[in-house]
Structure 1
Amino acid sequence: MVTLPVLDRAELLAAIDRAASAYASGQVAERENLSGRRFLIRQPMGCQAPLAAGSAAPQGVGVLMKIENAPDLKLTLSPADWTKSLERPEGAGGWEAAEGFWLAWPWLRTDVCPQPPLSADEPVVEGDAVEPSLETSAPSMSHTAGLASVFEVDGSRLKRRMGRAYEYTLRGDGKTPPVKDQGGYRLVMEGRIAAFSDGRSIRCHAANADQRPACVAAVHLERVAFETSGGQQLSEWRGG
Structure 2
Amino acid sequence: MMHARGNAGPVRRNILAALALVAVVPGISGCEQKSDPTAEETAAPKPEKASAALETPTIDPLSAVGRSDLLAAAAASADEVAAGNSLPKSNLQLTNRSFELRLPFACDGGILGKWGEWSFDQKTRVLRVTFRPQNWGDDPIFNRIAAGAAYDAAEGFWIERPWTRAEQCPTPEPSPASTTIPESRTNPAPVATESAENSLALVQYFSPDASRTLRRGNRPYTYTAKLAAAGQTPPRALRVKLVGRISGFADGQPIHCVVEAPSKPPTCGIAVDFTRVSLEDAVTGEDLAGWGG
Alpha-carbon distance, 1:147 to partner: 0.4
Matching residue's letter, 1:19: S
Across the aligned residues of Structure 1 and Structure 2, the Cα RMSD in angstroms comes to: 3.1
Q: How many residues align?
A: 207
- Out of 142, 156, 162, the position equivalent to 2:217 is 162
Q: Which structure has more helix as a fraction of its residues?
A: 2
Mark the runs of 5 or more structure 2 residues left unpaired by the alignment: 1-59, 176-194
Query: Is 1:18 matched with 2:97?
Result: no
Q: How far 1:170 moved relative to its partner?
A: 4.5
* Identity level (%): 32
8 Å CA contact 2:108–2:172 kept in 1: the answer is no
**Higher fraction of strand:** 1
Distance, in Å, in 2 between the alignment partners of 1:91 and 1:195 is 12
1:21-51 residue CA offsets vs partner (Å, 9 max, x unmatched): 1121221122312210100111211112469
* Mapped partners of 1:114, 1:189: distance in 2: 19
Where does residue 41 of structure 1 map in the other structure? 101
Which residue does the alignment assign to 2:239?
A: 186
Check conservation: 1:46, 1:75, Cα contact below 8 A.
Answer: no
Mark the runs of 5 or more structure 1 residues left unpaired by the alignment. Answer: 52-56, 120-139
Q: Could you tell me how far apart the structure 2 residues matched to 1:103 and 1:6 are? A: 17
Q: In 2, distance between residues paired with 1:43 and 1:114?
A: 12
Residue matched to 1:64: 118
- Is 1:7 equivalent to 2:65 in the alignment? yes
Residue 79 of structure 1 aligns to which amino acid in structure 2?
Answer: P
User: Does the CA contact (< 8 Å) of 1:64 and 1:76 recur in 2?
Assistant: yes
Deviation at 1:63, TM superposition (A): 4.2
Structure 1 counterpart SS, 2:170: coil
| Pair 1:153 & 2:208 matched | yes
SS in 2 for 1:191: strand
The question of whether the paired residues in 2 share the 8 Å contact of 1:40 and 1:190 is answered with yes
TM norm structure 2: 0.61
Higher Rg of the two aligned structures? 2
- Alpha-carbon contact 1:43-1:110 (below 8 Å) kept: no
Contact 1:9 1:43 in 2 (8 A): no
**Paired residue type of 2:96:** G
Question: In 2 relative to 1, CA 199–3 (structure 1 residues): closer, same or farther, beyond 3 Å?
Answer: closer
Residues 1:200 and 2:253 aligned together: yes
